[in-house]
Structure 1
Amino acid sequence: MPQMNTEGQRLRFPPPKVKLDIPNGTGNPPQPDSAHPMGPPQYGLPMQALRIFLFGLYFFGSAVCIHGGQILGWPLYLFSADWFYAYMALTKQYFGLLITTMTQWWSPTLVRVSGDKSVAGQLQQAADGSLRVDFPERIVLISNHQLYTDWLYLWWTSYTNIPPVHGHVYIILKQSLKWVPIIGPAMQFYSFIFMARKWDQDQARLRYRLSKLNTRHSGPLSGSQGASQYDPMWLLLFPEGTNLSANTRASSAAFAKKAGIPDVRHQILPRSTGLQFCLQELRNTVDYVYDCTIAYEGIPAGQYGQDIFTLRSVYFQGRPPKSVNMHWRRFAIKDMPIDDSKAMYEWIVARWHEKDDLLEAFRQTGKFPAHAEAVNIEGGPKDELKTAYISTEVAPRSPLEFLQMFAP
């Protein structure tokens, strides 16, 4: 089965560059503290208990307040749908602030951002060290899925955009999350898209939700003088469908063998049906697909991030990843074969093989291969010594910004 490069040329699938090491268990057993890649816990049991209490108080207390704000704003729909959606976008900004401050306070981590030539000049670092990205207000965002926290860093990226669009993030999720107490109903207010992973059921639901994202609105967040225009939208989906683990790696290898295609080494083979359908529906209002390859420093070869960077170790024991690495690329939708199912599958698999090479380089060197022209650092060098990486952290613009969550 042929694949295509970024110029749309058809190529043969490259052979895997390293021997596949496919785990055959159900996952790595919990490691004793002495064997943990991040070393012993930074905090003892009493401090861990205090951190758990404070974390729960802040997260669930804030979530209740945000959801309460949503309920307070629900009657707006009876008067103006535009005002209702604008208000829900505001409460979505609150949740973006919640996960940003939550990560800054309980899991401060170096974030290293890079890109290739396709995002030249769109990755910026301000004089205060904060990240600023200059992506369009309407994009489809895809990423590999290493950990459950991947979406957190991608949502934070929307907060750093110029202008910020963290109130206009839409995530495609599995159906079982729809009725999680507080969080599930809140995500329904946010117009997140829930999928049952049965295409005959999901297709109609997805078409309806995408039609809403293609509708012009005129409201307080839609431009000057009530002009009718498309709202900002970052549609996030993970083509792999689930995060990386021993089980999912084994399933990916089995599928690759059955299909007669090379497997990937550090990911799961992606699916193309959902992405292709989204691009077909959004092609007239969205120009680019932005692709993020994400990797966490500190995962030993043959192990999986979900077994090492658990909620307990990252937020309560003080053992976050040494760094979170995000490498960006973009692709013009007009150059993608979105009307040919076979070619679209070949396209997405080709991109995943490229991402796999990026992840292999990261495993060997600790950084992604990157282009210096992708980044612009305020006050940084202007010559050939210019770095290709932005080193920053997840943080709000103001230490008091989180208080907005309690305003309603």
Structure 2
Amino acid sequence: MNTADAELRQRVKTAPDPVPAPNLAAGVTAGAPAIVEHPSGKEGHGKAVQILRGVLFALFFFTTVVAIQFTQWIGSPLYFINRDIFYSYMAYTKQLFGIAIATMTNWWGPTTIRISGDESVAGQIRKKTDGRVEFDFPERMVMIANHQIYTDWVYLWWVGYANKRRMDGFIYIILKQSLRYIPILGTGMMFYGFIFMSRKMAVDQPRMAHRLQKLSAKHTDPEGKSYLDPMWLLLFPEGTNTSANGRRKSAAWAQKMNYKDPEHILLPRSTGMYFCLSELKGSVEYVYDCTVAYEGIPRGKYGEDYFSLSSTYFEGQPPKSVNFHWRRFRIADIPLETAEAFDQWLRSRWYEKDAIMEQYLSNGRLPASPTKLEDGSEQPEYIETEVRTQYPWEILQVFSVVGTVYLLYRLIVRFLAKF
């Protein structure tokens, strides 16, 4: 265990669980913070520029999403012909969305991504010669993270794009049921195989069981070898992003259950994750945990008050840096015998995560990756990069299938016109 790990675990030990009921007002602020200087370090654009950026962003997002939606509908008949080909095709359309969000973030909300990890992910995060980062995470895993702002999923989806074997086509997210009814986007997410929850386990459990069984189903290749489809299942155990209201609810839950209430994040709800891991056990080896922190958020304040979709993409005030610290846990070592044992395990990881966030707020850095030198000593290390695609013209792929179909249609029309 390295020195940083030992310090973090010592911090957690100093606050055993359970503890006396916490102060419900701790870490809770009333109303929006008084902003002197925006954490992005940039002055917001004027109204005219904001409107122009908003129009251009809306045009980009609408055309790419509609193109991807048409691409999905074009391939939908494959469902009745060959299911394996259908799911591979939908994975391709999911990759197109990964390209779209990486491009829109690079164009409208550029930010520094600062990455580190503990010894469990040593050698799995590398910087390439062109400045991009390459992750070497497995093809099947469960990914969990604290939920800071609504765009967390954008940066985590990009991790799939930046993986050695591109995994942005195999990301599955558990979402609120209401999101499936959003025009165009809701249909697209259903094509992607995302899991929608009503937050009523009596309703959600059969639906989740069906989807998770499909994700853990074994297939047989032409040579008779069995294999599992690639899968990254993204979960936010807190259930919602950190906010003043979320902190109140977390504190109230901690008081009710006589738990220690973390200072910088929300208490995780373990029921959904416990069910997922129980269903996937034997088909997935690791849980990858990401602690996410945004530069410049003052202590006791909340990211949603500074980095909304509008400020990030319209006002020109994206986060100055998005910070990731990765850890890996073997599922075989996670107590899944009972829901109570797992709940305690997950809370302990979240208390460690809270200590990690305290370190960030104290010195502006998450724990560094330990890098061994030739003399056996360790040197702290971070990898800094940006959200971008491999090639600037990669966004054109989003329109490739629709464009090809349109050209074929024109050729057929011209051919038939001759008769």
Equivalent runs, 1:146-295 vs 2, <5 Å: 146-217=148-219, 228-295=226-293
Equivalent runs, 1:85-164 vs 2, <5 Å: 85-164=87-166
Paired letter, 2:129: A
Q: Is the partner of 2:143 in helix, strand or coil?
A: strand
Counterpart in the other structure of 1:378 = none
Structure-2 change in CA distance of 1:167 and 1:39 (3 Å): closer
Q: Distance in 2 between matches of 1:274 and 1:312?
A: 31
Q: Distance in 1 between matches of 2:153 and 2:222?
A: 32
Paired letter, 2:284: V
CA RMSD of aligned residues (A): 2.4
Give the CA deviation at 1:229: 1.8
Specify the structure having the higher radius of gyration (Cα): 2
**Unmatched segments (≥5 aa) in structure 2:** 1-8, 402-419
Q: Deviations over 1:211-269 (max 9, x none)?
A: 11012346xxxx78796521110000100000000000011011111211110011110
Q: Distance in 1 between matches of 2:273 and 2:29?
A: 30
| Alignment partner of 1:403 is 2:396 | yes
Counterpart in the other structure of 2:382 = 389
Counterpart in the other structure of 1:74 = 76
Contact 2:289 2:326 in 1 (8 A): yes
Q: Distance in 1 between matches of 2:68 and 2:224?
A: 27
Contact 2:368 2:380 in 1 (8 A): no
Q: Deviations over 1:301-323 (max 9, x none)?
A: 22110011112211111111111
Counterpart in the other structure of 2:405 = none
Q: How many residues align?
A: 387
- Of all paired residues, the percent bearing the same amino acid is 51
Q: Is the partner of 1:324 in helix, strand or coil?
A: strand
Equivalent runs, 1:225-374 vs 2, <5 Å: 228-373=226-371
Q: Distance in 2 between matches of 1:127 and 1:14?
A: 48
Q: Distance in 2 between matches of 1:213 and 1:40?
A: 43
Counterpart in the other structure of 2:50 = 48
Normalised by the length of structure 1, the TM-score is 0.89
Task: Give 1:22's match in structure 2, choosing from 7, 27, 31.
Answer: 27
Q: Distance in 1 between matches of 2:103 and 2:219?
A: 31
Q: Distance in 2 between matches of 1:207 and 1:65?
A: 32
Q: Distance in 2 between matches of 1:28 and 1:137?
A: 41
* Runs of 4+ in structure 1 over 6 Å off: 223-226
**Unmatched segments (≥5 aa) in structure 1:** 375-380
Q: Distance in 1 between matches of 2:28 and 2:285?
A: 40
Paired letter, 2:392: P
Structure-2 change in CA distance of 1:144 and 1:332 (3 Å): same
Q: Distance in 1 between matches of 2:87 and 2:232?
A: 15
Q: Distance in 2 between matches of 1:56 and 1:199?
A: 36
Q: Is the partner of 1:329 in helix, strand or coil?
A: strand
Q: Distance in 2 between matches of 1:125 and 1:96?
A: 20
Q: Deviations over 1:27-61 (max 9, x none)?
A: 426x57x5544466342222211111110000111
Q: Deviations over 1:284-329 (max 9, x none)?
A: 1100000000000011122110011112211111111111000000
Paired letter, 1:52: G
Normalised by the length of structure 2, the TM-score is 0.87
Paired letter, 2:290: C
Q: Distance in 1 between matches of 2:118 and 2:96?
A: 32
Q: Distance in 2 between matches of 1:214 and 1:176?
A: 26
Q: Distance in 2 between matches of 1:252 and 1:387?
A: 34
Structure-2 change in CA distance of 1:401 and 1:300 (3 Å): same
